[in-house]
Structure 1
Amino acid sequence: MRASRIVSTVALSMCVAGLVGGCAGGDGSGDAVRSVPRTAQARDDLLKSAQNELVRRCLTDREVEAPAPVTTSAAPQPAGGQRQFPYGIDDPAWAAEHGFGITAGSTGQGGPATPKLDRKAAAEQQRLSDALFGTGRRELSTRTATGLLVKANSDGCLAQAQRVLYGDQAAWFRTDVTVNNLAAAAHQRVTRDPAYRAALADWSRCIAPVHKATDPAELRSAWQRGAHDLDARRAAALQRRYAVAEARCVRRTGLAGTGVRLERWYTAELRAQYADQLDDHRRLREHGLRYAVQHGL
């Protein structure tokens, strides 16, 4: 799917990575005793593997080869585990050890440049993108709960794989886009809620003696600017200083707790609002799981 050429490029990298990573392919021989997995993670893995295999077969039929992905991102890399703090770091001890969780020296400024493709490589990448996502007018469209309009073609290998796997590609596109954006919609509603805005204003006043910032994201940007000309050791020290200050103020003002409480409320509200789409999404997933098992994907 692609809401724009930029979205297509990101999706292309993810799809290629999945294809190169290996697929549980086969014609089902020796797989007669397989059944639909019970755990959510195993079900997700099966659907991804099945879709990748169907995409790979489609690309082969169209005589398009998926090249090995090349990681060229210059974005800051996470450090210190996979902890997420959607409403500000609320653990001063963690902040003292890991800062914002960004690897020392990776400030998001500069970094390795994306290599420029030569004409032949660019043409091959475009051919792969066209085969995966389709060409021409994007026939499918839906609007997410955050207001984003997402469009997709129905003639690419990804669409074909979804049509085979789920039985109805248009319905899968609409429900999958909707369901996968509900968390973002809940977060958006939290950040606009008056109670959260009040807690955020308290946090801003609390952090002002260390650095003036209206929210934790602005504090990270301030660190990136300040660390730009520092060596790795001093940049890391500045990161920890800012992160500890953020965490102490988050604790003092209850910012994260307010965010989490409101997120639970808005998530329930959204799930009620989009109950029909959620039911359709579950039904299509069940269809895909049964198809994957029956056809040895």
Structure 2
Amino acid sequence: MTTVRAFGFVAMAALSMCVVSTAGGCAEGPGRDDAGKPQSVPGSVRAQDDLLKRAESTLAQRCLAERRVTPPPAPPGPDTGDRTGGGPAPDSREAAARRPFPYGIDDPAWAAQHGFGGAAETARRHGEDGARAQEPRSDAQEARRQQRFLDAMFGTGRRELSTRTATGLVVRANSDGCLAEAQRVLYGDQARWFRATVAVDNLEAAAHHRVTRDPAYRAVLARWARCVAPVHKADDPGELRDAWQRRARGLPPDRAAALQRRYAVAEARCVRSTDLAGTGARLERRHTADLRAEYADLIADHRSMRERGLRHAVRHGL
């Protein structure tokens, strides 16, 4: 059984970065128009997400202030510059290289230009991560400050809340931290919000998990493996990428890049000829529908509590 602490999840991590940032990216918004009247709930999902993140951040910051806990400064993001100060935006070429291919690259031209994209970027940064690991650690006082913030933000002791995702992952959280308090204020019931949010946030991953175990997908994957075997034997695209990373170690950068492109193009051509990506996408739609039916009650809970949170945020100018 795999167990993770709840703030390891993307949603929790994003909020924690929101709270610790003092640069203003998640600062408290006015919640009112120029005439002083409360704003209405925004119409777009993205704007609603931003409102809820800002509201959670504002409430959590108030809680931290009441507990006399000062968030540590947030480290600058990689290669993003100072956004609040008008720093450079991410390179469009880097964004293009991070195009998602959940069931294998299906664009040979893209593969010829970007190789494996994100996989290559991960390998490139491996040395940088190793160098950063050698940097001196924070002193004991700073470490204690960081721990005090984490305890105040996410709670301490036995994690009272527990739920299991559709993929079998057990997620636990405390109910005594400032994040929990912010969620109780916004959504009314933090335990229900926790269970519903974990379920909803993991539906996409669960659908992908089911696709990769679907006999129809496995049959097409076997054809893909036979297709790619003349270049390198691999049971799936992930294994092909691992093989490239192993072989690229110790090679000069130009030869490693050429090998990467060769493997990536082979992957893409075989994905295209076997329709592996198309099969995965079609099966994912079916499994997503099944999961939404299975988790209909939690999805409805999530929707109603989300609407409550939006109304609360607007009403109180969060």
TM normalised by structure 1 equals 0.90
In structure 2, relative to structure 1, the CA distance for the partners of 1:179 and 1:102 (3 Å cut) is: closer
CA distance in 2, matches of 1:61, 1:229: 54
Give how far 1:235 is off. 2.1
Matched, 1:89 2:105: yes
Q: Which runs of structure 2 are paired with 1:73-88 in the superposition (5 Å)?
A: 80-88=96-104
In structure 2, relative to structure 1, the CA distance for the partners of 1:22 and 1:79 (3 Å cut) is: closer
Matched, 1:23 2:33: no
Q: Which runs of structure 2 are paired with 1:93-132 in the superposition (5 Å)?
A: 93-102=109-118, 106-107=122-123, 109-112=126-129, 113-114=132-133, 115=135, 116-132=137-153
Partner amino acid, structure 2, of 1:18: C
* Equivalent in the alignment of 1:155: 176
Give how far 1:251 is off. 0.8
Gaps spanning 5+ residues in structure 1: where? none
RMSD, aligned CA: 2.4
CA distance in 2, matches of 1:242, 1:258: 21
CA distance in 1, matches of 2:10, 2:168: 20
TM normalised by structure 2 equals 0.84
Matched, 1:296 2:312: no
Cα deviation, 1:133-175, whole Å, max 9, x if unaligned, reads 1011111111111111111110000000000011111110010
Does structure 2 conserve the Cα–Cα contact (< 8 Å) formed by 1:133 and 1:157?
Answer: yes
In structure 2, relative to structure 1, the CA distance for the partners of 1:279 and 1:197 (3 Å cut) is: same
Helix, strand or coil at the partner of 1:260: helix
* Equivalent in the alignment of 1:216: 237
Partner amino acid, structure 2, of 1:80: A
Matched, 1:238 2:242: no
Q: Which runs of structure 2 are paired with 1:1-297 in the superposition (5 Å)?
A: 4=4, 8=8, 14-19=14-19, 20=21, 21-26=25-30, 31-70=36-75, 80-102=96-118, 106-107=122-123, 109-112=126-129, 113-114=132-133, 115=135, 116-297=137-318
Helix, strand or coil at the partner of 1:131: helix
Gaps spanning 5+ residues in structure 2: where? 79-92
Give how far 1:56 is off. 1.1
Give how far 1:179 is off. 0.6
Structure 1 stretches of 4+ with a deviation exceeding 6 A read 9-12
Aligned residues: 292
CA distance in 2, matches of 1:9, 1:193: 26
Give how far 1:17 is off. 2.2
Identity %: 60
